[in-house]
Amino acid sequence: MKDWHQTHSQNRTVAIWLLICCGLVFAMVVLGGFTRLTGSGLSMVDWRPLMGWLPPMSEAEWQRVFDLYQQSPEFLKVNSHMDVHAFKGIFWLEFLHRLLGRTIGIVFLLPFIFFFARGYIKTTEWPKYLLMFFLGGMQGVLGWYMVKSGLVDMPHVSQYRLTAHLIAAFIIYAYMFWVAMSLLFPNNSNERHPWYLKSLALTILTSITIISGGFVAGLRAGKIYNTFPMMGDSWVPPGMMALEPAWRNFFDNIATVQFDHRILAITTLIAVIAFWFKARDADLPSRSQPAVNALLHTAVLQVALGITTLVMSVPVILGATHQAVAMVLFTVSLYILHSLRRV
């Protein structure tokens, strides 16, 4: 009994650490949204993953960094009026975004070494934690790969790379969250709950909707057709299949990308309402039912935020909040999925 209580306590400690890391990744995603929406993401035109902990510390250093920025397409085509003082305003958000990424790496690595040395993490378990650390490092590389796409000819990043960067953040977040939940709610049963597949389908639909939002963000598709429920004077905007080959319209055509996101968002809301309605009479685990209620409330809030953000032409605060609530919705759906993974 003593060994069981000790193991339970150790698992709880490790889970809390992982949830703290999840919280930092959540903050990273939200800060990334602010960085993108304020046009700050291309202000740092070099990448120093090991030596970039400190910002410019003197006016000479600020001028050196600004001189590098002046060679970028964004300065030449968008911000040529900007002086070094105005440049500082966009520099700080991107710097803080990168600094938070480095901080997450330290917050993850040092406790992992401690927990592994103390036996909190068994030898058979450490590969999954090293995978988390590896994915985090690759996310940093992917982030720079994304930024580089906006430093060549056009002063905006590729919507493909931006969406890939967003997907990778959600994968890392989901992996850590799932492992933390498994430590907090251990279950050795091999039998899945009958509602597991329903929950899995809803989680996949939610994820696809979020991914479509990445393309909306990358193409700035929220800046057009700022009406709802119609898109301008039409239910279906003209030119939706104007690009060749046809598949490109779903990723490169601004009107099509916004239309797809609208349809997916409403479909997700309807699916959540149906899931909630049927779940009221279902034999769900005790920790699932409150989460199902939270899922409904969050989905309604997210759709309301999305519509408001659209009709107001994507204000920074609303746009970043919409992205944050998307992650909350994903978290709740993932929590429900985990609660149903075993009977």
In DSSP notation, 62-108 reads HHHHHHHHTTSHHHHHT-TT--HHHHHHHHHHHHHHHHHHHHHHHHH
Round to whole Å and give the CA distance between 264 and 278: 21
Contact (CB, 8 A) for 37 and 120 = no
Q: What is the pLDDT of residue 51?
A: 64
Residue linked to tokens 């790379």: 161
- 329: exposed, middle or buried (Cβ count in 10 Å: 0-12, 13-18, 19+): buried
Round to whole Å and give the CA distance between 43 and 51: 17
Q: What is the pLDDT of residue 4?
A: 64
C-alpha angle with apex 164: 179 to 139, nearest 5 degrees? Answer: 55
Cα atoms in the 13 Å half-sphere on the side-chain side of 320: 16
pTM of the entire structure? 0.94
Each of the 343 residues of the chain gets a pLDDT tens digit; together they read: 557 677 778 999 999 999 999 999 999 999 999 999 998 888 888 887 766 688 888 999 999 999 999 999 898 888 888 999 999 989 999 999 999 999 999 999 999 999 999 999 988 888 999 999 999 999 999 898 898 888 888 788 999 999 999 999 999 999 999 999 999 998 877 888 999 999 999 999 999 999 999 999 999 999 999 999 999 999 999 999 999 999 999 999 999 999 999 999 999 999 999 999 999 888 899 899 999 999 999 999 999 999 999 999 999 999 999 999 999 999 999 999 999 998 7
What's the distance, CA 194 to chain centroid?
A: 29
C-alpha angle with apex 82: 78 to 88, nearest 5 degrees? Answer: 115
Q: Give the DSSP letter string of 288-324.
A: HHHHHHHHHHHHHHHHHHHHHHHHTT--HHHHHHHHH
Residues in the chain: 343
Number of neighbours of residue 105 by Cβ within 10 angstroms: 18
Q: What is the pLDDT of residue 109?
A: 95
Number of neighbours of residue 340 by Cβ within 10 angstroms: 20
Domain residue ranges in the chain: 1-186, 193-343
Round to whole Å and give the CA distance between 190 and 187: 9
What residues does 234 pair with on adjacent strands?
231
Q: What is the pLDDT of residue 122?
A: 87
